[in-house]
Amino acid sequence: MSRILITGAAGNLGKVLRASLAGKYDTLRLSDVGDMDPAGPGEEVVKCDLANARAVQALVDGCDAIIHLGGMSVENTFDVILDANIRGTYNIYEAARKQGVRRILFASSNHAIGFHTRETQLDARSEMRPDSMYGVSKGFGELLARYYFDKYGIETASVRIGSCFEKPRDRRMMATWLSFRDFAALVECVIDADRVGYSVVYGASDNAEKWWDNRLAGHIGWVPQDSSQQFSDDPAIAGAVNAPTDPAVMFQGGGFAAAGHFED
């Protein structure tokens, strides 16, 4: 793997990977529709709208693997989700097929399974229960990745990212938190693994409260090192009082599951 493409490179997680992967591969090709810092050593910076199929074809040319973070990262109107997450992800996979890229990390989301209750432990075989149109778009991306693997042999790790921030922001995130270090290590495992196949991986650190079981992705070799427990005394967490019948508490998707339709 000599040239790695990172879409969504201007976003928070894109910036984390840009720093953590620097110098580990020959070239990082960084892409976003937004502004990015100028290219440094071993970097290429390419501005690209993922809804533009022709531009995506050129973007993917010469790449060995793709870390697909690009798109809308929260709930929005269907038209925005359609272009950013559905059409954009299709364009990535179709470009990968035509350009011979054999491995992709697709940034899926816990919101693809957000209507499971908190007491239901999930693994890679659990059914999708999206909690939003955003979650629906991530479910589409997972199915698309499954199709491109079965039909064309393009390997994908669909990573259902929990809550990847510097630290948990509330009680729910004590279960869903993914540290920046663990996320970067997961990305490296996916790039460097002998074989990925089609795999679903839950992106959460080694937290005390566990909703997700990653044993079916054990062949990737990722073992998270961090835990949200270090933040358990934070007043915003220790002092929180949550009603067990509140939809934001009942369901794994939290506030996404509790929210009404975005366009109403």
Asked if residues 101 and 7 have their Cβ atoms less than 8 Å apart, the reply is no
Closest residue by Cα to residue 178 from 193, 189, 162, 191: 162
Q: Residues 90, 134, 148, 202: which is the catalytic one?
A: 134
User: 161, 253, 249, 246: which is closest to 202 by C-alpha?
Assistant: 161
d(CA 91, CA 70): 12
Interatomic CA distance for residues 65 and 261, integer angstroms: 36
User: What is the Cα 156 distance to its own chain's centre?
Assistant: 12
Q: CB–CB of 115/131 below 8 Å?
A: yes
Pull the structure tokens for residue 32: 């976003």
- For the record, the structure tokens of 175 come out as 């279960």
Hey, which residues does 29 pair with through a beta bridge? 5, 44
CB 25 within 8 A of CB 4: yes
Phi, psi of 159 (to 5 degrees): -100, 110
Helix axes of 12-20 and 180-192: crossing angle, nearest 10 degrees: 60
Assigned token pair, 96: 């990968």
Sequential DSSP letters for 20-48: HTTTTSSEEEEEESS--PPP-TTEEEEE-
Active site residue 134: yes
- Catalytically active residues, by annotation: 134
